[in-house]
Amino acid sequence: MLLRRAGRWSRYSVPVVDVALGIIFLAFALESLTFILRFGAYAVYVADSALCTALALTQFGRLRLLHASFIATYTLLAAYAVLVAVSPVNLGLNPIIATAITSLYTVTRWEPDRRWGMTALLLALAGALVNPVTFSSYSRPNQSGVNPTVGDDSIWALIMVRTLTSLVFVGAVVLTYLLASSRRRVAENQARDIGIAAAQAVASERLSLARELHDLVGHSLTTIKVQAATGLALGGEERLRSTLTAVRDTADASLTSVRQLVSVLRSDTGEITPLADLRTIPVLIETTRGSGTRINAMLPRPGVLERCNEGWSAIQRLTLVRLVGEALTNAVRHGSGQIELSLMLSPASCHLHVSNPVPEAVEHSPFGGSGLVGLEERLRLVGGTMTHGVQHDDEGSSFFTLDVDFPVVPLELPASATDPDQDSGEMTDETGSGDSR
């Protein structure tokens, strides 16, 4: 309720600047009352006081009622100029005419339609040339009503003073317009930059979401497809039961990952930790083996992966998990034999090597869709590099190889984490047997 009332109040409140200007110009308007107090309530003095007061009041709606305030201000200024022109006495120069400047600035700075600002500029320039100074001198009316004799030199001096004053007014109008236009351009450029940044953020978010969905679902669906094809090819009740069980488990794991992603997207923090668990790498390998694919995997021991889980940043862990998943997916989808995978960790870097035979039909396009693009985008985020391509051995067989390197948070790892040939057993050499596709 309080917030609703506050919002309603802010909608009808007057900006502080307008309040300050209104009070200042009301003080100027009170000066016109001195004519009435000194000389009496003559019509010309009453009209002068009324116009000055009305001009001061327009400043309170300068921003809230921009159009109405602008029209009222310039209409009253025109009436004020006419009053000064036809007045039988010299009304002098009241600072209230500065409302022309404040109104010009407001319309030029804040009105989206530039025609309003141009109209205000032209009217202000006209007023700068045809103003109370043009019609009268600076002296206040005196009670004697005696007009001194004015010589030619004095007349020319008076003309020069009035001309210079008009030029000062013109300069003030032009400078005000240029200042308001400059600030308007700055604000428009800032708004445009913010809009571009927002659009880029949305595009980046869409790209990130597309990449995550591709990596999450692509591997699982490819595995399910291979498992189903294997079950259909081999037949047999027991084999079909085993295949359907594997399909169910793979689909369940994929659904869990998608739910985690949705949970991350809905959360305020956007923490990606549940999706960036290095312990899922052996699970990915076993899931791929479950489809009948043979994999020779060289991985760090679980203790090393756990240490990296605790020390690496979330984006580094997620990058490695997605790299392994996408590499296995493409090897299953496009390859034709045993997959060789090795994950080498050093204190400050990570190296992933994946290779698999490919048939000649896909030799020139081993990666399909957006997989390779997604891998490159991920690696750019962590400052990594990737090389890939088809190589041939002495027997003429074709192999697709993928090598990835990226820096990680420096950690103290066992020597065996960097050298799989040592005997401490910190690296595991896992060879899974399965049906060749």
Give the mean pLDDT of 130-151: 49
Task: Report residue 435's pLDDT band, with 50, 70 and 90 as the boundaries.
Answer: very low
Instruction: Decide if pLDDT at 204 tops 80.
Output: no
Greater model confidence, 180 or 336:
180
Looking at this protein, which amino acid is placed at residue 314? A
Give the mean pLDDT of 327-336: 80
Q: Looking at mean pLDDT, say which of 83-92, 249-258, 266-275, 363-372 comes out highest.
A: 83-92
In terms of residues, how long is the chain? 437
Instruction: Decide if pLDDT at 157 tops 50.
Output: yes
**Residue 216: what pLDDT?**
61
Express as a percent the part of the chain with pLDDT over 90.
Answer: 17
Single out the residue of 268, 258, 241, 342 nearest to residue 298, CA to CA. 342
Give the mean pLDDT of 13-35: 85
Q: In this predicted structure, which of 57-61, 93-97, 132-136 has the lowest mean pLDDT?
A: 132-136
Task: Report residue 1's pLDDT band, with 50, 70 and 90 as the boundaries.
Answer: very low
Task: Report residue 220's pLDDT band, with 50, 70 and 90 as the boundaries.
Answer: low
pLDDT tens readout for residues 347-357: 888 999 999 98
**Residue 70: what pLDDT?**
92
- The structure's pTM equals 0.50
Task: Report residue 53's pLDDT band, with 50, 70 and 90 as the boundaries.
Answer: very high
Instruction: Decide if pLDDT at 277 tops 60.
Output: yes
The total of other beta-carbon atoms located within 10 Å of residue 348's CB is 11
**Residue 71: what pLDDT?**
94
Domain topology for 207-432: Heat Shock Protein 90 (3.30.565)
Greater model confidence, 230 or 326:
326
**Residue 262: what pLDDT?**
61
Instruction: Decide if pLDDT at 183 tops 60.
Output: yes
Instruction: Decide if pLDDT at 64 tops 50.
Output: yes
Strands laid side by side in the 339-346 sheet: 385-392, 398-407, 349-357, 339-346, 295-300, 427-432
**Residue 418: what pLDDT?**
44
Instruction: Decide if pLDDT at 421 tops 50.
Output: no
Instruction: Decide if pLDDT at 422 tops 90.
Output: no
Instruction: Decide if pLDDT at 341 tops 70.
Output: yes
Q: In this predicted structure, which of 80-94, 131-145, 307-321, 410-424 has the lowest mean pLDDT?
A: 131-145
Task: Report residue 206's pLDDT band, with 50, 70 and 90 as the boundaries.
Answer: low
**Residue 425: what pLDDT?**
34
**Residue 106: what pLDDT?**
92
pLDDT tens readout for residues 70-87: 999 999 998 988 888 788
Report how far Cα 335 is from the mean position of its chain's Cα atoms: 42
Q: Are 185 and 144 in contact (CB under 8 A)?
A: no
- HEC per residue, the chain: CHHHHHHHHHHHCCCHHHHHHHHHHHHHHHHCHHHHHHHCCCHHHHHHHHHHHHHHHHHHHCCCCHHHHHHHHHHHHHHHHHHHHHCCCCCCCCHHHHHHHHHHHHHHHHCCCHHHHHHHHHHHHHHHHCCHHHHCCCCCCCCCCCCCCCCHHHHHHHHHHHHHHHHHHHHHHHHHHHHHHHHHHHHHHHHHHHHHHHHHHHHHHHHHHHHHHHHHHHHHHHHHHHHHHHHHHHCCHHHHHHHHHHHHHHHHHHHHHHHHHHHHHHCCCCCCHHHCCCCHHHHHHHHHHCCCCCEEEEEECHHHHHHHHHHCCHHHHHHHHHHHHHHHHHHHHHCCCCEEEEEEEECCEEEEEEEEECCHHHCCCCCCCCHHHHHHHHHHHHCCEEEEEEEECCCCCEEEEEEEEEECCCCCCCHHHCCCCCCCCCEEEEEECCCCC
Half-sphere exposure of 400 (CA within 13 A, CB side): 25
Could you give the dihedral angle defined by the CA atoms of residues 244, 245, 248 and 251, in that order, rounded to the nearest 10 degrees?
A: -90
Task: Report residue 321's pLDDT band, with 50, 70 and 90 as the boundaries.
Answer: confident
Cβ partners under 8 Å of residue 79, min gap 6: 51
Average pLDDT value for the chain? 75
Instruction: Decide if pLDDT at 437 tops 70.
Output: no
Spatial distance between the Cα atoms of 375 and 214, rounded to a whole number of angstroms: 11
